[in-house]
Amino acid sequence: MDQYSILGRIGEGAHGIVFKAKHIETGETVALKKVALRKLEDGIPNQALREIKALQEIEDNPYVVKLKNVFPHGAGFVLVFEFMLSDLSEVIRNSDRPLTESQVKGYMMMLLKGVAFCHENSIMHRDLKPANLLISSTGHLKIADFGLARVYSNEGGRLYSHQVATRWYRAPELLYGQNNDEGVDLWAVGCIFGELLNNSPLFPGENDIEQLCCVLRVLGTPNEKIWPEITELPDYNKITFKENPPIPLEQIVPDASLQAVDLLKRFLVYPARKRSTARQALLHPYFFTEPLPAHHSELPILQRGGKRSRQRLQHPYEFTVDQPLEDSLVEPELIAAHCGSLS
């Protein structure tokens, strides 16, 4: 720590405190995440290890936040990240005016390039959301917070927890208890895209049951015809919803272009295997028609700590601690009441 001069405290998570700091010798501004080991902990917290492992597996990439160094400090250790000015959630909520189509395309291109790079390097992020997409002082978007990430094998066979992803961006198969694959990231990309188009979240459920209701209200009640694997999901028989037809996505994102809606449809589909990959999405006509994606220098720059949004924004360098899934064993009347409240 003697190498750094602390400039201020900028965030706090379950596993550490984040500081803005300057490297004394080089003058470089960085973010320091100090992780303290609790007395009862047996070694380094799993989430910290996952983040370190995932970021060390990734070579330098302009669309992934750079972990510059890790070193021991006191009873814990410090992760040194490149300093980023803001995050996409603050841009969405605090911009003076809605994002233009060109700006949305610019952000989406950077997000998709980052996701494609992660997946091509066998890394599932598993917690993509606007608060984990950092924005630099030059307008570049970079994926951050790999505390729930997994480095997976193409050989398959390994099971991963379904208790991942912040609820609003959580894929429906996770809500039904399925162990996940990279499809959960692609669903989250669709949710982020919709939020950029509407300037508000697509599926803002207050609990896991209502989250499913939000999704089913838009995409319709799933069945074996449109989602053949649904009957195999662990919680499929524990929860029942009334039949509900889908709502055209054109009504959900009314100001979006036809090509934007078409791309959104390619992410927000029930079977994970049918979702567009990030690399495929980058070739969609949406990105090659006027207006073209904005250059990063044309994107809004928002100082952290600007206008306050209605919900507390998690600092992007914080480790994610997601709430456990609520029990799916709920009476049908209660489920119907939740769904009815959304109509």
What positions carry a catalytic annotation?
127
Q: What is the SS3 assignment for 72? A: strand
SS3 76: strand
Q: Please provide the distance, in angstroms rounded to a whole number, between the alpha carbons at the two ends of the chain.
A: 54
Listing DSSP states for 2-15 in one string gives TTEEEEEEEEE-SS
Beta-sheet pairing, 29-36 with 123-124? unpaired
DSSP line for 209-248: HHHHHHHHHHH----TTT-GGGGGSTTGGG------PPPP
Spatial separation of the C-alpha atoms in residues 87 and 90, rounded to whole Å = 6
Per the listing, tokens 């600007």 go with: 306
238 annotated ligand-binding residue: no
CA distance 212 to 194: 17
Q: What is the DSSP string of 175-210?
A: HTT----THHHHHHHHHHHHHHHHTS-S---SSHHH
Residues marked as binding for ATP? Answer: 33
